[in-house]
Amino acid sequence: MQDQTRPSTRGSSFHRSIGLFTGTAINMTQMCGIGPFITIPIMVATMGGPQAVIGWIVGAILAIADGMVWAELGAAMPGSGGTYVYLREAFQYRTGKLMPFLFIWTVLLTIPLLMSTGIIGMVEYLGFFFPHLGWWPVHLISLAATALVTLLLYRRIESIRVITIALWVIMLLSVIGVSAAGFSDFHSSYAFSYPQGLFGGKFFVGLGAGLIIGIYDYLGYFTTAYMGDELRDPGRTMPGSIIISVIAMMFVYLILNISVLGVAPWQEIAHSTSVASLVVEHSWGHTAAAVMTLLIIVTAFASVFAGLLGGSRVPFQAAHEKVFLSVFGKLHAKHGFPHVALLTMGVLTAVGTFFDLTEVINMLLAATIIVQFIAQIAALVVLRQRQPGLHRPYRQWLYPVPCVIALVGWIYVYVSASTLSLILSGIWIVAGLVVFAIWAKVNRSWPFAPLEIREAYLEKD
C-alpha cells in the first residue's frame, strides 16, 4: 500500500510541483540528444540489417526494469546526489564510504566520455560540409569545440532551463524532419529486407553489441529519480515518468530507424557518418540537408554544454559532503562555480574524442555498469533488509523480478563490451580503489577507522 499523504522528509526546501507529464518530459529531454543520429548506422552495422530495431526494443525492456530500481531508491531517498546517496546509505554498514567514492570517481570518467560522443557526432556531421577532413583537422576541431564549451562554462550559468528547453525543441524538429524525409521517399523493400538465418548462432553476439548502443540511447530515463522531493505524488510520478518516457522514446527510435532504413539499402546506411544528412538530401535535396545538419550540430554542441554544466556539479556535491576528494569541493573565487571539476571533465572529454565512437560508448557503459547499475540493484536489496522502516512512496512492482531482469541485462551488456573498454574501465576502477585508500588514510575513514553508521533518511523521520 503506497502512502501518498506523508510529507517530504526534507521539510519545505522543495515544492512538490512536478507531475507525471512534466516528469516524463524531463526524462525524455535528457534521453533525446544527438544519440540516435550517430548510432543508427552503428546499430544497423552491428545487427547486420534492418533487424536493428530489435536492439532498441530489448534496450527499452532493460531500461524499464532498471528504471524500477531507480524509482524505488529515488522516491525513498530524494535530493541531490542520486546514486551516490543510495550507495552511501546501503553499503555504509560494511565498506563505509567506499562505494559512493568509487561512483563519483567513475562519474569523473563516464560523464566526459558521454560528452565525447556529442563532440565526435558533431564533427562527423561537419563532414557534410567538409567531406575531406583528415585525421588532424578532425581532432583539432574536436579539441577546439571542447575548449570552447569549457570556456563558455567558466562562469556562473543560470540559464540551464532555457538551454534544456531549446535543446528539446531543436531535437524534436530534427527527429520529425528526418522521419518525414525518410517516409516521403520510403521503400519497404529496403526497410524490411531481413537476411536469411536471422536468428542464427551469431544473432545473440550481435544483439549484445547492439544492446550496448541501444541502452546508450536510453540513458537519462532515470532523471526524475534525482528530483524525488520535487515530485507530486512520487509513488505514481516516479515509476510512471520512467516507464512512459522509455516506451515513448522506443517508438521515436523505431519510427526514426524504420524511416531511415526505407531510403537506401541498409549497407549504405551502415557506412554513413551523417545518416540524417544522407536521408534528407536523398529526399529533399542539398539545401534541406544542410539546414538539418546545422540543427544537429547545434544540438550536439548544446548537449555537451548542458551535460558538462550539470555533470561538474556531481563531484562538487560529494566533496562538499566529505564523500570525495576535497579539491573538487572548491568554488571559483569570483564566479562561484566548481571550476576544478569542470576543468577535469573538460580535459577528459577532449581525451575521449581521440577514440572511436563505438569504443567510447563501450568504455562509458563498462565503467558504469558495475559501480552504478549493478551496485544500485544490490543497494535496493540491502536497504530492504537493513532499513525496512524507510518510507518508500513507491515499492518496486513484482519485486524482485525487475531486479533480476535488470541484473541479467547489465551482465549481458558488460560481457558484450569490447576487450579494450573492459581493460581501460577496469584500470580506472582499480586506480579509484588506490585513490580511495589514500584518501581514507588522510581523512581517517574506514578501513583506517571504525565504521560510521548514519541512517540519514531514517533520522529525518
Query: Tens of pLDDT along 196-212?
Result: 767 666 777 788 889 99
Three-state DSSP state, 201: coil
Cα separation, 72 vs 90, in Å, equals: 13
Residue 445 has φ and ψ, to the nearest 5°, of -115, 170
Nearest to 320 by CA among 336, 331, 311, 309: 331
Q: Which of 113-122, 221-230, 421-430 has the lowest mean pLDDT?
A: 221-230
Task: State yes or no: pLDDT of 290 exceeds 70.
Answer: yes
Cα separation, 271 vs 383, in Å, equals: 47
Q: Give the domains, in start order, of the chain with CATH numbers.
A: 20-459 (1.20.1740.10)
Query: Tens of pLDDT along 66-112?
Result: 999 999 998 898 766 689 889 999 999 999 999 999 999 999 999 99
Q: What is the arithmetic mean of pLDDT over 296-312?
A: 85
Q: What is the arithmetic mean of pLDDT over 292-300?
A: 90
Q: What is the arithmetic mean of pLDDT over 427-442?
A: 96
pLDDT computed for residue 443 by the predictor: 92
Q: What is the arithmetic mean of pLDDT over 2-12?
A: 40
What's the residue count for the chain?
A: 461
Query: Tens of pLDDT along 368-413?
Result: 999 999 999 999 999 999 999 999 999 999 999 999 999 999 999 9
- CA 414 centroid distance within chain: 16
- Three-class SS string for 261-312? HCCCCHHHHHCCCCHHHHHHHHHHCHHHHHHHHHHHHHHHHHHHHHHHHHHC
